[in-house]
């Protein structure tokens, strides 16, 4: 997502010296994410910094379990050797669940559950804004409480 924000000019296009303030403004202006939610995730980004403790470069985020993680809906696990590149086959297997104009909690959970099962089968050890698909910035601000509530519902429905 942060790379997409840089590609669209919400963050510096060169991906260099991104501050927490830059991140908060970019996420709010692009997807109306609350400052508190951005700061929670942004603090992890700052721990990867090769520049200082107040900024980071996009390349600094290219570490396992910072943004990229095993069980990703669009990337292979670290076990595969390429856990950073978009994987069209993995995404197609996930996107096949999304047949309705609105993606429900149950559908999200089913897609996530299938992806986790596929990742576990392959590894026993175990990013753009979708404008073209019709997505628009929500008018209601997204809060960390709302996001964590939704994530909790998806996780609970995935077991």
pTM over 0.75: no
Cα 25 to Cα 30, 35, 55, 120, 148, distances in angstroms: 8, 8, 14, 37, 21
- CA of residue 133 relative to chain centroid, distance: 17
Please give the structure tokens belonging to residue 92.
């197609």
Whether residue 75 is found in the same domain as residue 117: yes
Whether residue 58 is found in the same domain as residue 101: no
The answer to the question of residue 153 being in a domain is: no
Whether residue 28 is found in the same domain as residue 39: yes
Q: What is the mean pLDDT of each run of 10 residues along the chain (159 residues)?
A: 93 95 96 93 89 90 80 86 90 96 94 90 65 80 90 84
pLDDT computed for residue 129 by the predictor? 64
Structural domains in the chain (count): 2
Whether residue 62 is found in the same domain as residue 75: no
Whether residue 100 is found in the same domain as residue 122: yes
pLDDT computed for residue 122 by the predictor? 82
> Using CA atoms, how far apart are residues 122 and 38, in angstroms rounded to an integer?
33
Cα 8 to Cα 5, 13, 128, 131, distances in angstroms: 5, 8, 9, 12
pLDDT computed for residue 132 by the predictor? 65
């Amino acid at each position: 997502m942060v790379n997409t924000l840089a590609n669209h000019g919400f963050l510096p296009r060169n991906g260099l010296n991104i501050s927490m303030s830059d991140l908060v403004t970019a996420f709010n202006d692009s997807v109306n994410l609350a400052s508190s939610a951005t700061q929670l995730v942004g603090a992890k980004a700052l721990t990867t910094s090769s520049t200082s403790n107040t900024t980071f470069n996009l390349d600094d985020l290219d570490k396992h379990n910072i943004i990229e993680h095993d069980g990703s809906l669009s990337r292979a696990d670290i076990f595969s050797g390429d856990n950073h590149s978009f994987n069209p086959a993995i995404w197609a297997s996930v996107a096949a669940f999304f047949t309705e104009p609105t993606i429900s909690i149950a559908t999200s959970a089913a897609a996530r559950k299938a992806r986790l099962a596929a990742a576990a089968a392959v590894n026993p050890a175990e990013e753009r804004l979708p404008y073209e698909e019709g997505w628009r910035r929500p008018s209601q601000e997204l809060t960390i409480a709302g996001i964590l509530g939704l994530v909790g519902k998806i996780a609970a429905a995935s077991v």
